[in-house]
Structure 1
């Protein structure tokens, strides 16, 4: 049995950061185990081709359970199954969320995770082409840029939003998130800057770092309060690696809780029902699953919407449907193509306003389908369970319509296709939201951080009941920040590495 000081499970966004930080100490040996292949698919590096990656071999291809409050639909949940994880297949929008998000984490008992505490970490890993305004870094490994050669439709949409009174925002990761402006992108010189490109690739030059791909981790082996080994399957052969120091779970909001449950760490009754020996009763594992729900409002265009030079959604906006100046309730993406939910028909030429509800109250769960590691788990985000989520997206449709028909959009907006010009009353709009709601690809929360007894990890991300195991990915997020979740995930992993290195000393 081989021994490593650190074993990192998952080479996604968090795992790439963790591998880079821990292997920087040449005295330590680091192993990274990744279920997917290396990131050589040419579509990954091309920002315009990210839309081709969902449903491809580099996607886990998850489906939710039938959604009780969303017309009984099973909704696709793309997640990266490749080196770089979802940072290798996402739309490359780099948002941190607002200060209130992290101050709220601290208020929930996550001491040390307020905005003032996490901002230095966001800056540390970033190389932003807009310079350092006090909110950005310019010397980090991850290159972030504002869009270049923007599409004329995006220009028109920007003018339309400003004409409606929405404030201009030149930096969504700066002083405020409210307003309309250009999305910061993990794109540099026309190529995707995934976590694999920024963090893992350079680190793999070190002799003390080992990456194994195409392996399925099946169980954490424990003895009393320590994780002593990790079992996995490689090329059909079961193997075990011994953990001398710490094991770090970086497999994401789906695979991390799944592995914990397979290892007997989770709600006792659920584990016993599947015949899994209980290692540690942890009722929070798999609970608190939530996501930013989104809904598309699609229009045909008066002129051809030709492909742009960026990643199809270069313009963004944060707004409130009630006009208040508080934390934004809605994040908009202006998609330079007709984007519709499964089962709905897109026009051949058009564009879509795709708002997400940034303050979802609905909470779901992740559970095991069986005790077989190769089976996908039961994913139930409970979309639209709460009236506030349903009403929020309904209100976002009305705001989208106003935006699309503003004077500056006159040369572009032709006809509304979805929901359709005849759908205006509250009930029919709600019915459309149920038929069209989908993911903004931001699942979080299934291994919640906190100081209460039901939290899965403590404020230094240690797995409760174990001295040498941490979770360092989006699963630890107690409440989803507004905006996109890749940037917070990188921050979480960076801070977790700080904790590990400090404890080692």
Structure 2
């Protein structure tokens, strides 16, 4: 093998970036961060509105799902980041953690040490919150968390419309109570995206014990006598890991690489001609995601950011941003929304909404020629479970991604209820000054079958995939509660794939927390200290 390292991190996404920054706080260990994607030098990665470009273009691997058998064989574009920082470099920067009960449910499922009270300190540790410093929020952490800098008057009208249907305003949905309509806080600092790469990696590239390699695709994890000893790159080069291999490639990438390494369901691997290193049937199982539906309304005038798609208005928007970090370029475009109920018996909010200040923002979503707004909804606790499998032993081939959307009838019913709730909100008097007419679903969609047919055409992923390398206290779990792989020493998984159930919100903040908590566990397991109270150096805190 070539030069070895104490820790090899596979995947420079959100959690992998956190590990790189935190583990190298100890100068006595050497860390190699391998990222299959490229650099984040392109300016769109740092402009808040740039996510609309990057998710459709160079920021994504361009993968798709298999035809969804419970949605009339619809194929979904399934965005997976192809850049250092992972999803945090291309997402809409919405900072939501889920509901406290989500983590208490994990504990009740056997994940000791992962209750809400257990994970809250790690959410706080990651934050440099410009607004709050209290029981729920922290200042001085690496990740900038800030208020929207570019809301529009239609946002306030949305709050009034939500109130008219019984949804109160909530100033902090990451605080004591999740329910209510809100401005989301955003992973931004000084009007720029605060990705995990910019918060944890870039400020620390000078550290002699941190090596970062981009466009570095791992062929397989090397396992010798039940111990992960390193990685093999695509060119056949092997790199040794003296302490641990840390797999951080996400809910799709992590099970994919494990299976390419001969670690996974034995029957599936054998069928593809892959030598079985370790039979673990749960790898790639338990895939969960939030199905995103949307209601689109045409506006009476230029009340959204749609007009800035035209070249001369785009130039004006760029100038406004350069002069004051304001305007549409400073907007994530989805910074307004909230949490509410469509099932009156739900234990906590079961629907999340995002108000898009335009149309056609994401791939496959219709655009209004005269401008409009989009109100998305997603059912937060799907019962359907899917899989990630290989289509071939060839690592150049895309994986078979099957979220299995709407397999459970409850998911279908609750999703349609959420769509109807967005229609009800947009129809309120408070928004009549702005909205000319609802265009999608529109008046022709009336029956339950109409709604189902509509969502089989007009829906997308919420980009919240999780669960494919499930954590648990039971022998069948892929990783234990310290995220160590059950059955192979020296291998740990640190990303959203370890979630036993997907959290009730966007998932990037949870990935930050998982990375922070894992870093402390790794330090403790190797006698490096817990890292509590250390943080990054004052000169690099909150770097963006």
Instruction: Report what 1:313 is aligned to.
Output: 334
Instruction: Report what 1:46 is aligned to.
Output: 47
Distance 2:363 2:496 in 1: 26
Give 1:494's match in structure 2, choosing from 504, 516, 541. Answer: 516
Deviates more, 1:47-56 or 1:331-340: 331-340
Instruction: Report what 1:416 is aligned to.
Output: 438
Give 1:295's match in structure 2, choosing from 275, 293, 296. Answer: 293
Per-residue CA shift, 1:115-167, capped at 9, x if unaligned?
01000111111111112121001121111011124111112111211233211
Q: How does 1:23-422 map to 2 (within 5 A)?
A: 23-233=24-234, 237-307=235-305, 308=328, 309-323=330-344, 326-339=347-360, 345-348=366-369, 349-422=371-444
Distance 1:326 1:460 in 2: 28
1:453 positional shift: 2.5
Distance 1:108 1:325 in 2: 18
What secondary structure does 2:113 align onto?
A: coil
Instruction: Report what 1:430 is aligned to.
Output: 452
What secondary structure does 1:2 align onto?
A: strand
1:214 positional shift: 0.6
Say if 1:341 and 1:438, in contact at 8 Å, map to a contact too.
no
Per-residue CA shift, 1:229-256, capped at 9, x if unaligned?
20112xxx33110111111001111111
What secondary structure does 2:162 align onto?
A: helix
Deviates more, 1:475-484 or 1:339-348: 339-348
What secondary structure does 1:298 align onto?
A: strand
Instruction: Report what 1:8 is aligned to.
Output: 9
1:27 positional shift: 0.7
Distance 2:404 2:202 in 1: 37
For the structure 1 residues 358 and 53, does the alpha-carbon distance in structure 2 shift closer, same or farther, using more than 3 Å as the test? same
1:477 counterpart = 2:478: no
What secondary structure does 1:470 align onto?
A: strand
* Structure 2 gap segments, 5+ residues each: 306-327, 528-544
1:343 positional shift: 6.2
What secondary structure does 2:217 align onto?
A: strand
Distance 2:357 2:98 in 1: 24
Per-residue CA shift, 1:346-374, capped at 9, x if unaligned?
32111111001101111000001101111
Distance 1:306 1:114 in 2: 40
Distance 1:264 1:313 in 2: 40
Per-residue CA shift, 1:451-504, capped at 9, x if unaligned?
222211000000111221100001101100111100101111111111111011
Say if 2:52 and 2:362, in contact at 8 Å, map to a contact too.
no
What secondary structure does 1:3 align onto?
A: strand
1:324 positional shift: 5.6
Say if 1:154 and 1:314, in contact at 8 Å, map to a contact too.
no
Distance 2:301 2:342 in 1: 29
Say if 2:52 and 2:361, in contact at 8 Å, map to a contact too.
no
Distance 2:60 2:419 in 1: 30
What secondary structure does 1:32 align onto?
A: strand
For the structure 1 residues 459 and 325, does the alpha-carbon distance in structure 2 shift closer, same or farther, using more than 3 Å as the test? closer
* Structure 1 gap segments, 5+ residues each: none
For the structure 1 residues 91 and 341, does the alpha-carbon distance in structure 2 shift closer, same or farther, using more than 3 Å as the test? closer
Say if 1:63 and 1:76, in contact at 8 Å, map to a contact too.
yes
Say if 1:63 and 1:74, in contact at 8 Å, map to a contact too.
yes
For the structure 1 residues 270 and 397, does the alpha-carbon distance in structure 2 shift closer, same or farther, using more than 3 Å as the test? same
Per-residue CA shift, 1:396-441, capped at 9, x if unaligned?
1221111001111011121111111121221211221222221110
Distance 1:2 1:343 in 2: 45
Instruction: Report what 1:20 is aligned to.
Output: 21
Say if 2:304 and 2:372, in contact at 8 Å, map to a contact too.
no
| Count of paired positions | 502
Say if 2:359 and 2:366, in contact at 8 Å, map to a contact too.
no
Distance 1:415 1:267 in 2: 51
Deviates more, 1:92-101 or 1:131-140: 131-140
Say if 1:297 and 1:419, in contact at 8 Å, map to a contact too.
yes
Distance 1:498 1:472 in 2: 12
Distance 2:161 2:346 in 1: 20
Per-residue CA shift, 1:224-279, capped at 9, x if unaligned?
1211120112xxx3311011111100111111111100111101111111111111
Distance 1:419 1:479 in 2: 30
Structure 2 length-normalised TM? 0.90
What secondary structure does 2:401 align onto?
A: strand
Q: How does 1:433-444 map to 2 (within 5 A)?
A: 433-444=455-466
1:41 positional shift: 1.1
